Amino acid sequence: MSLQGKRIVVGLGGGIAAFKAVELVRELMRRGAEVRVVMTEAATHFVGPITFAGLTGKPAVTDLWAEDYAGEVHVELGDWADAIVIAPATMNLMARASSGQANDAVLATLACARGDVFFAPAMHARMWSHPAMQSNIQTLRARGAVVLGPVTGPLANGEIGEGRMMEPEDIAEAIESHLVHSDDLSGSRILITAGPTHEDLDPVRYLGNRSSGRMGYAIASRAQHRGAEVTIVSGPVHLPVPSGAEVVRVRSAEEMHAAVMSRFEHFDVVIMAAAVADYRPERRATRKIKKGKSLKLELVRNPDILADVGAKRARRPSVLVGFALETENLEQSARDKLERKAADLIVANEASAGLGGDTNRATLVDAATATPLPEMTKRALADQVLDRVRTLLNNSSQRSRLETEHEAPN
């Protein structure tokens, strides 16, 4: 019953997955939430408002012009809800939401949202990958909406593809983890490195890696949501910055090193999720290198940012977290790294999972324990890492309190 006391509006678009919204409403209520339903006119062709009235005990709002609502029901619902979840979110509905339209009950309620907004897209895979859809999703995300799915599986016409709505239980789980964590990191300042680094060879070429930055940005977004003050030191990525977070953009490992070293003492927590290049070209040519028969590159070592923070930190950061991508001896290699870089926690990934994708499988290694986690979304892993960070922060403030008491003269 961990959604006890939470108020959730479920908004339906007109798609075949609308029948699953019935199960979603039930699941949210089973978890203790109070639920109200709003529907587009199209949605009412797929599932009847009476079904939701029966489940929730309140009429489903389908029409802003209905006399019972006195014209302000969207304002009242937007104000009332801790969260609004649009499921199914159709291509059309999200296009209208991203352009700020408010011409039906669902969109007008969304426009008045005071709480968190979630979209659970459901459509054919070709519609989902359409550039217009993807750019609308970017817009909605940039405004702070959380997009849940879609997942890959059988679509309405029997084809297999990415476009299937997430299962109601998974949607409810994601909303619950989002809502219940609110504010448990408030008061802490967190610095996160994210993305790859690009090591320039000449004005047009560089050495890089396939990191998308999604893991670091997921941590930033969750930390921000949980009340932390967040700064991202970001390599070159194509990701929206979580609203409210500060971003410092860099290209190379040396730039990232400088950005982190000049800031880390102001942060309670430093999390190094960037895939920093270990080497850079010894020289960066000032002009484009001409084609020859062959080309020999001399590479030199980059500074290890995590190890440098580990070696130089005094009072801050209280918690230092590193990532490790390993192909073998996962736990032992992570433990070596923990010691060598003086970190408090290493998030160890198997090299086969993670890089560039939406999910990750990791083992959390600290001084005393190693906890293997199942494969999960990067968002869910971000919460697991932050749960650990919160525990480490609490331990460290307890330790410094005891030390102060010990040092204090009687």
CB of residue 262 vs ligand C5P: minimum separation in angstroms?
A: 15
CB closer to ligand C5P, 91 vs 345: 345
Query: Phi first, then psi: what are they for 309, rounded to 5°?
Result: -65, -45
Report helix, strand or coil for 376.
Answer: strand
CB closer to ligand C5P, 27 vs 304: 304
CB of residue 60 vs ligand C5P: minimum separation in angstroms?
A: 48
CB of residue 191 vs ligand C5P: minimum separation in angstroms?
A: 12
CA distance 284 to 277: 15
Catalytic residue among 92, 136, 209, 360: 209
CB closer to ligand C5P, 88 vs 216: 216
Reference 360, options 382, 376, 384; nearest CA is 376
Which positions touch ligand C5P (CB under 6 A)? Answer: 193, 253, 272, 274, 276, 278, 302, 304-306, 322-324, 337
Report helix, strand or coil for 248.
Answer: strand
CB of residue 239 vs ligand C5P: minimum separation in angstroms?
A: 17
Phi-psi category of residue 109: left, alpha or beta, with phi > 0 → left and psi -120 to 50 → alpha: alpha
Tell me the residue type at 338: L
CB closer to ligand C5P, 88 vs 195: 195
**209 noted as active-site residue:** yes
Contact 125, 159 (CB under 8 A): yes
CB closer to ligand C5P, 195 vs 242: 195
Report helix, strand or coil for 212.
Answer: coil
CB of residue 282 vs ligand C5P: minimum separation in angstroms?
A: 16
C-alpha 334: how far from chain center: 24
CB closer to ligand C5P, 172 vs 253: 253
CB of residue 241 vs ligand C5P: minimum separation in angstroms?
A: 19
Active site residues: 209
